[in-house]
A = this chain, B = another copy of it.
Amino acid sequence: MAAIRGVRARARAELTAEILRAARRQLAEVGAPALSVRAVARELGMVSSAVYRYFATRDELLTALIVEAYESVGRAAEQAAAADGRPPRERFVAACAALRRWAQEHPHEYALVYGSPVPGYQGDDRTTAAGSRVPLALLGVVRDARPRTGDEAALSPELRAQARGTADALDLEVPPEAMVRAVQVWTALFGLLSFELFGQLARTFDPADELFARAVDDLADDLGL
């Protein structure tokens, strides 16, 4: 028996990581739909069939990339939101800024997880779990803030039930009104990010820094932060 875990196990972990790195580079070059096992192998100087020792299919490779992307953006949001002691509004603004920075630095990974679904690809529990990190980070700020929401119109029973169900599933004590608000803020935020990244703001609000700052400010108001 070789050293801790053995030479093979270590080599395997390293090569798996290298394949993912190469795949990420490919992703940035040609986009998810055109990502190919052969191109990844080529970039690593290995024969395409060798990659199959590490990922059983192209879809498995895609899944790994999606999970990685979600964890990466989730980590960014968590770190920014977790500035303990700071007032919730500041943490929310910081999280939004972190999300935008991540999106701009990883446009193809952003498109992979928040853009159109890759045709023919089906996510599974792994991707769903990873994908909830960002909303959870945002909800963390909301929960700590205990926003007043009583002055708004009552939620419909169905919506209230969905909000409760979601809070329960996530094991969070967020009142339905705040939950619904949070989802609206979450979708509004990513709507703006998507439109900026995907070019819908071209020639109008294109360097969207100011628009984004303004929107985040208004969203913080909406959350009662």
Closest chain B CB from A38 CB (angstroms)? 17
A115 surroundings in chain B (CB, below 8 A): 115-116, 198
Query: Which A residues have a C-beta under 8 Å from some C-beta of B?
Result: 30-34, 111-112, 114-117, 119-120, 123, 128, 131, 153, 155-156, 158-159, 162-163, 165-166, 169, 180, 183-184, 186-192, 194-195, 198-205, 209-211, 213-215, 217-218, 222
Closest approach, in angstroms, between the C-beta of A148 and any C-beta of chain B?
Answer: 16
Residues of B within 8 A of A169 (CB): 203-204
- B195 x A187 contact (CB < 8 A): yes
Contacts of A34 in B (CB 8 A): 33, 119-120
Residues of chain B within 8 A of A204, CB atoms compared = 162, 165-166, 169, 183
* In the bound complex, CA of A225 to CA of B84 (Å): 39
Whether the Cβ atoms of B159 and A214 lie closer than 8 Å is yes
Q: Are A131 and B200 in contact (CB under 8 A)?
A: yes
Are B180 and A214 in contact, with the CB atoms below 8 A?
A: yes
List B contacts of A153 (CB < 8 A). Answer: 217
Residues of B within 8 A of A163 (CB): 205
Check A31 against B184 for contact (C-beta < 8 Å): no
Residues of B within 8 A of A117 (CB): 111, 198-199
Q: Is the beta-carbon distance between B191 and A205 smaller than 8 angstroms? A: no
Give the distance in Å from the alpha carbon of A213 to the alpha carbon of B33 in the complex: 34
- Assuming the contacts A191-B190, A198-B114, A200-B131, asked whether A211 and B162 have C-beta atoms less than 8 A apart, the reply is yes
Contact pick for A210, options B31, B112, B158, B203, CB 8 Å: B158
Query: Is A211 within 8 A of B119, CB to CB?
Result: no
Nearest CB of chain B from residue A182's CB, rounded to whole Å: 11
Residues on the B chain within 8 Å of A111, using CB: 116-117
Contacts of A199 in B (CB 8 A): 117, 123
Bound-state CA distance A102–B205 (Å) is: 26
CB neighbours (8 Å) of A186 from chain B are 195
CB distance from A30 to the nearest CB of B (A): 6
A192: contacting residue among B30, B116, B158, B187, CB under 8 A: B187
